[in-house]
Structure 1
Amino acid sequence: MEAVKAILQGLDVLLVLPTGGGKSLTYQLPALTSPSGFAVVISPLIALAKDQVEDCLDRDIDAALWNSETDEVVKTRLVQDISCSEPATKVLYTTPESLAMPRLLDALKEAAAAGCLTLFGVDEAHCVSQWGHDFRPAYLALASLRSNFPDVPILALTASCTPAVRHSILDVLCMGASAVKLQASANRPNIAYEVRYKELVGSQDDLLRDLLEFIRAAPGACGIVFARLRKTCDWLAGMLCDADIDAAAYHAGRDAAQRLRTQRDWTQGATNVVVATVAFGMGIDKADVRWVVHWDAPGSLEALYQESGRAGRDGLPSRSIVYVSHAELQQMRSLERGERR
């Protein structure tokens, strides 16, 4: 509630809250308490934004989506809605790229001038730092939010971030010295963490047998296996299926329809295990994930926390298993030393 109070006072907020901690309420409540207000939430992935819209609609919150896949008729209707004195839309989800489009930007400026734009929420805000300098330059363009909307508070949300990432978020989003910085404990006591060294487990076949034994020890349990490469996802999913485990691969090499079907099957319990690259973990909201396995070492401790945090959202005992080799650890240390220079 501290974050909500700060937003209602017109202050920028950086909120670091563990996965499953109710981050979405912090941008929904200010909009819902304002008769004529609505929030804009900037989401990193279209699939994630779709899930968030569906979740809002299931709870009778008027939510809408604006991205590259949105029909022009829908966009026209949304422009008309958010430009009126009392918009029906309470939460508008979009992407950094779509937010830069003049049509949407102009409509939001009009809404802000009328006092209807309650806040900008930047979901999974660590992407500002991790993706903005690489393959998503539109994240860096979010710096213009402060100049275009000087009176609209910005709420940056993430499950975890290092001091360096926190500084980057505050810097890129031009959140001034008055920004409120809130951080809850990152402890997830219901998740048991375990590292399994690949050299001690044995060969590739031994590793696969070890994974199968782990999965079979809890038949029917819902889980995620993260792998670095797409071909590894396909291979592992195939091997699990051959072992009579309901599994499917998810990565950017699959077409959108396949990815959506895989995600829905897994969310609804038709598939128990998803073998995926890290993009799948972004914003996954499924309470009964009992385990998360990293087939390869995660990119950082922060990434491990983010990705393993998909497990145990219901508070029940869950597990995180990381398979790591000496070579992977050396590579991670080398990268870390390079970042410090």
Structure 2
Amino acid sequence: MLNEYDNHKRILHFIFGLENFRHQQYDVIRNTLEGQSTLVILSTGAGKSLTYQFPPFTKSNFFTIVISPLIALAKDQYEKCVEKGIDVEMWNCNVSMSRKDRIASDLSDPDVQTKLLYVTPEGLKQPKLIESLKMAYENKTLCSIAVDEAHCVSEWGHDFRPSYLELASLRTLFPLTPISALTGSCTNEVQKSILKVLGIPNATVIRSSFNRPNIKYEIRYKDVIGSGYDSCVIQDIVNFVRERPDDCGIVYCRLRTTCDWVAAALCASDIEASAYHAGKDQDQRNRCQSEWSSGRLNVVVATVAFGMGIDRADVRWVIHWNAPASMEGFYQESGRAGRDGLPSISILYA
């Protein structure tokens, strides 16, 4: 007879096609299955998604809610789950009412079929969904709640996403359901804010080392490159990309207008690049993300809007046109490179 760990490895292989847990994935999973809330601070590429996707498969009628900051991010993860044959649903403004009715009915069923439900913080304010989750809680089928990119609770909740602050109600509605808050990095101040807002002050904190030895960090000074700063930097980037034409990478800019200008300048130099920022309409952003994820597009010029949940392991380089707003942001963004463990480059223009 298989012991619990061996049985979990069997599930890992059968559902996710993986042979072994890595980093501290199993520590997080075990904590969740023991009913404990967890703040998960694992570096980019450490496999945070598996820590909340795995637990509902340990029982036939378990499911997990995944709170995602962006519909595009949820859609990307949804599609990857579909490819694995996982019963997954999304609940957001793009989902029809008839589909929402079917989802709500399923979640209320003691024999619920859905394993993962991706929802935005705003989606959790809808009475139909809340009522079905209350029923699931009574049925003991609500396995866990995962808050992906949890630093948004602190960074966005006090600004333009007040729905993040309302996530505190989850602890009141579902007091015994374990909550996992996941992020790639956060300061002590942000950590305290996450735990306070989510109502899990005694959560176990599981973190990994932030050392990324496969990434070479480099600073290039604009005044050394040339007197015509912007045009010289563009040419420097063009030369860099041409030296590695098959590699993919991201150029981060702080301003939307800079993104558009840099992307156009690269295209003018016969480098296929696309701009991504919140000023683009949803169709443009979806198309860019789809082409990027599929490998049809190798160069994206973006603001911080492009980054969360990027699931492309072969990013070989990340360039910052200018310094990010914080060291935390720089770590997150430069860490998009080399998730497969292979040598990669981070360049900051100063």
- Relative to the length of structure 1, the TM-score reads 0.93
Which of these residues, 210, 213, 216, is aligned with residue 189 of structure 1? 213
Q: Distance in 1 between matches of 2:313 and 2:299?
A: 14
Deviation for aligned residue 1:176: 2.8
214-223 or 82-91: bigger deviation:
214-223
Q: Does 1:210 align with 2:236?
A: yes
Which of these residues, 163, 177, 198, is aligned with residue 173 of structure 1? 198
Alignment of 1:138-287 (within 5 A): 138-177=163-202, 179-202=203-226, 203-287=229-313
Which of these residues, 316, 327, 334, is aligned with residue 342 of structure 2? 316
Q: Distance in 1 between matches of 2:84 and 2:220?
A: 41
Q: Distance in 2 between matches of 1:252 and 1:181?
A: 32
Deviation for aligned residue 1:37: 0.7
SS of match in other structure, 1:245: coil
Q: Does 1:91 align with 2:116?
A: yes
Q: Hey, what does 2:15 align to over in structure 1? A: none
Q: Distance in 1 between matches of 2:65 and 2:101?
A: 17
Which amino acid letter does the alignment assign opposite residue 308 of structure 1?
Answer: S
Which amino acid letter does the alignment assign opposite residue 186 of structure 1?
Answer: F
Q: Report % sequence identity.
A: 55
Q: Hey, what does 1:130 align to over in structure 2? A: 155
Deviation for aligned residue 1:129: 0.8
Q: Does 1:55 align with 2:92?
A: no
Q: Hey, what does 2:20 align to over in structure 1? A: none
Q: Hey, what does 1:292 align to over in structure 2? A: 318
Q: Distance in 2 between matches of 1:310 and 1:317?
A: 12
Which amino acid letter does the alignment assign opposite residue 220 of structure 2?
Answer: R
Q: Hey, what does 1:307 align to over in structure 2? A: 333
Deviation for aligned residue 1:220: 2.2
Q: Distance in 2 between matches of 1:296 and 1:69?
A: 35
Which amino acid letter does the alignment assign opposite residue 223 of structure 1?
Answer: G
Q: Distance in 1 between matches of 2:57 and 2:209?
A: 27
Question: C-alpha deviations, 1:31-58, integer Å up to 9, x for none?
Answer: 1112111000000000000011111111
Deviation for aligned residue 1:198: 2.4
Q: Distance in 1 between matches of 2:132 and 2:97?
A: 15
Q: Distance in 2 between matches of 1:189 and 1:32?
A: 34
Q: Distance in 1 between matches of 2:72 and 2:224?
A: 38
Deviation for aligned residue 1:24: 1.1
Q: Distance in 1 between matches of 2:206 and 2:291?
A: 36
Q: Distance in 2 between matches of 1:89 and 1:194?
A: 46
264-273 or 93-102: bigger deviation:
264-273
Q: Distance in 2 between matches of 1:201 and 1:89?
A: 55
Q: Distance in 2 between matches of 1:125 and 1:280?
A: 16
SS of match in other structure, 2:122: helix
Question: C-alpha deviations, 1:162-200, integer Å up to 9, x for none?
Answer: 1111111111111032x1111111111111111122233
SS of match in other structure, 1:278: coil
Q: Distance in 2 between matches of 1:296 and 1:259?
A: 22
Which of these residues, 84, 101, 109, is aligned with residue 76 of structure 1? 101
Deviation for aligned residue 1:269: 2.1
Q: Does 1:34 align with 2:59?
A: yes
Which runs of 5 or more residues in structure 2 are unaligned? 1-25
Q: Does 1:101 align with 2:126?
A: yes
Q: Distance in 2 between matches of 1:219 and 1:260?
A: 24
Q: Distance in 2 between matches of 1:30 and 1:269?
A: 30
Which amino acid letter does the alignment assign opposite residue 183 of structure 2?
Answer: T
Which amino acid letter does the alignment assign opposite residue 80 of structure 1?
Answer: S
Which of these residues, 7, 19, 24, is aligned with residue 44 of structure 2? 19
Deviation for aligned residue 1:17: 0.7
Q: Hey, what does 1:9 align to over in structure 2? A: 34
Alpha-carbon RMSD: 1.0
